[in-house]
Amino acid sequence: MTTDQKTAASQPTAALPIGVFDSGVGGLTVLRALKQALPHEDFLYLGDTARLPYGTKSGATVARYALQTTRVLVEQGVKLLVIACNTASSVALPGLAQAYPGLPVIGVIEPGARACCEHAPHGRIAVIATRGTVRGAAYQTAILRLRPQATIATRPTQLFVAMAEEGWVDGPEVEAVAERYLTPLMAEFPGGKPDCLVLGCTHFPVLAPAIRKVLPEGVCLVDSAETTAECVVKELAERGLQKPAGAPGDVLAGGKGEGRVRFFATDDPERFASVGEIFLGQPLSPGEVTLIDL
């Protein structure tokens, strides 16, 4: 990285976009929440689709990937970075803070952990995530740091990832899978009910309606995408980096003053677009996705 690039990264300005990266398309649920919370902001989204999934890689490898993807976004110019990947959030933050000391970096795990602690009056917290995230105990560590007496139960729900990417997000089949995953998890708590359930994978918010149908009444569902967006709003405000509504700059076609989003992928823009629109919640064409090589 050149001295000029380091300087640019250390001096973010309000006019710059927000950078978001993930191993693939799941992080688009985070981008969707960010767009809803900050409709006039610009975003750069990078999906490292050539090297997914991150969950099967070593921590050192994922940290290296995160540095490489961040370098691309920093070179484009960003004022804040969102790690929209649970695995990368658990291992990459220290390295990124060292490499880019002036760049605010927010992962998805800490906001989710804080939110579930706030919504768990009895400290009973259930977490569903990918196998890699559960194995790495990232949520357990973050929750216990905030609430040492918490009772935590976790369960890998890997099939949810494939179902989400196929667009199978509702219906009796989805609810049957959710019930099979969640029934034994709920049974680990007194009365068969935790205070809250954390969606510990960025794929899972699109399955939230089906998951809610099989949860016991009164269990709060914590969406890490929404809580991450709330954290970004707060961080921008504290640093004075909000882009003023109606400020000059890129806007989407139609002149509505909405921020512009640029998409990058490291492999197969067509699949990125076709699967990605499930998570983004709006049409996405391959022509909107720029193929890059890290």
List, for residues 176-199, the tens digit of each pLDDT value.
999 999 999 999 999 999 999 999
Q: What is the pLDDT of residue 51?
A: 92
Work out the end-to-end distance of the chain between its first and last CA atoms, rounded to an integer number of angstroms: 14
CA 146: distance to chain centroid?
Answer: 20
The length of the chain is 294
Among candidate residues 104, 49, 48, 45, the one with its CA nearest the CA of residue 80: 104
87 close to 77: Cβ distance less than 8 angstroms: no
Domain ranges of the chain: 3-107+226-291, 110-224
Q: What is the pLDDT of residue 153?
A: 97
Q: Enter the tokens of residue 261.
A: 């989003």
Neighbour-count burial of 152, counting CB atoms closer than 10 A to its CB (0-12 exposed, 13-18 middle, 19+ buried): buried
Catalytic residues: 85, 201
Q: Which residue has the tokens 């007194």?
A: 190
Q: What is the pLDDT of residue 53?
A: 85
DSSP helix/strand/coil, 261: strand
Residue ranges in the chain modelled with pLDDT below 50: 1-8, 250-255
Which class is domain 3-107+226-291? alpha beta
User: How far is it, in rounded angstroms, from Cα 222 to Cα 201?
Assistant: 11
Backbone angles phi, psi at 210, to 5 degrees: -70, -40
Q: What is the pLDDT of residue 107?
A: 96
91 close to 65: Cβ distance less than 8 angstroms: no
User: How far is it, in rounded angstroms, from Cα 234 to Cα 1?
Assistant: 29
Q: Enter the tokens of residue 245.
A: 């509504």
Domains 3-107+226-291 and 110-224 alike in fold = yes
DSSP helix/strand/coil, 114: helix
User: How far is it, in rounded angstroms, from Cα 236 to Cα 76?
Assistant: 19
How many helices, marked H, and strands, marked E, lie in the chain? 13, 10
Within 10 angstroms of residue 125's Cβ, the number of other Cβ atoms is 28
Q: What is the pLDDT of residue 9?
A: 54
Span 110-224 CATH architecture:
3-Layer(aba) Sandwich (3.40)
Backbone angles phi, psi at 262, to 5 degrees: -115, 130
Q: Please enumerate in sequence order all residues whose Cβ is within 8 A of that of 182, keeping only pairs 6 or more positions apart, or say none.
A: 128, 155, 197, 211, 214, 215
Is the N-terminal amide bond of 53 cis, ω within 30° of 0? yes
Q: What is the pLDDT of residue 5?
A: 46
E-assigned strand segments in 224-282: 261-265
Q: What is the CA radius of gyration of the chain?
A: 19
CA 53: distance to chain centroid?
Answer: 14
